[in-house]
Amino acid sequence: MRRLEGRTVLVTGSLRGIGRAIVERFAEEGAQVTAADLDTDGPEIEGLPEGVRYQRLDVTREADWADAMAALAPARLDVLVNNAGTSRAGSIANTTIEDWRFVMDANATSVFLGCRQAVAAMTGHGGAIVNIASARGLRPGSGQCAYSAAKAAVLNLTEGVALHCGETGLKIRCNAICPGVIDTPLMRRRAADAGGEAAIQAMAGLQLMGRLGSAREVADAAVFLASDEASFVTGAVLSVDGGFAIRDR
């Protein structure tokens, strides 16, 4: 039997990169997946796996979250994957307040809104929340001031949600994944702007394993945390980073 057979899942930031890989893996495991993102049309939506439905969702807007939850009816939400996020480079010296707010909203406020909606939706029957954070949430970079702080906030929020659910008797697990440098189209575009193949090799060298991670490897971790195989796991951080966070440089 497939590990997520019949479960209703919502994945944010789901059309490309890690989010797309999560949608595809969850569909393979039998989940009824709603893929949520900002797009209104395009080939990524048309090319979603058979049976996957699409929902437009601006994860920074509370009203959009309410609409997304209402669109799931009459199905109940079993799993939420908070994957949507973005970054803007900048140190403490040159990060603007506009950049700070943008990155915090996209990466941290969005997860707060999603977790709050999911806890309300899952209260009667239980479920699982998987938050996609980052290795930068564990090991900040000086040139990613806002992004590192936002992902650290996601990790703290994950523990807070897990504590609330456990202390109030809700059968809701909340865990986080911290990817390292993952080979996605967005990463490739940014590497091209920063020096091409040399930049890619430099990023691969940040991991102890000496290579980039794949989006599917992150998706496999998400399947585990969403499944009954992780039934005794909550408030945990699963690093899928090739050793990035522990490397002493």
Q: Where are the domains of the chain?
A: 8-183+214-246
From 26, 54, 65, 147, the catalytic residue: 147
pLDDT of residue 200: 85
What would the pLDDT profile of 79-135 be if each residue is shown by its tens digit? 999 999 999 999 999 999 999 999 999 999 999 999 999 999 999 999 999 999 999
- Per-residue DSSP letter, 35: E
**Is the pTM for the entire model greater than 0.85?**
yes
Residue 190 confidence class, pLDDT cut points 50, 70, 90: confident
pLDDT of residue 147: 96
Would you tell me the crossing angle of helices 97-104 and 145-167 to the nearest 10 degrees? 30
Q: How far apart are CA 32 and CA 56, in angstroms?
A: 17
Residue 235: helix, strand or coil by DSSP?
A: coil
pLDDT of residue 248: 65
pLDDT of residue 189: 82
Residue 49 confidence class, pLDDT cut points 50, 70, 90: very high
Top-confidence residue, 190 or 138: 138
Fold of 8-183+214-246: Rossmann fold (3.40.50)
Of the candidates 11, 31, 30, the one whose C-alpha atom is nearest the C-alpha of residue 21 is: 11
If you average pLDDT over residues 202-230, what whole number do you get?
94
Q: How many CA atoms lie within 13 A of 200 on its CB side?
A: 15
Which amino acid would we find at residue 138?
Answer: L
Residue 152: helix, strand or coil by DSSP?
A: helix
54 is catalytic: no
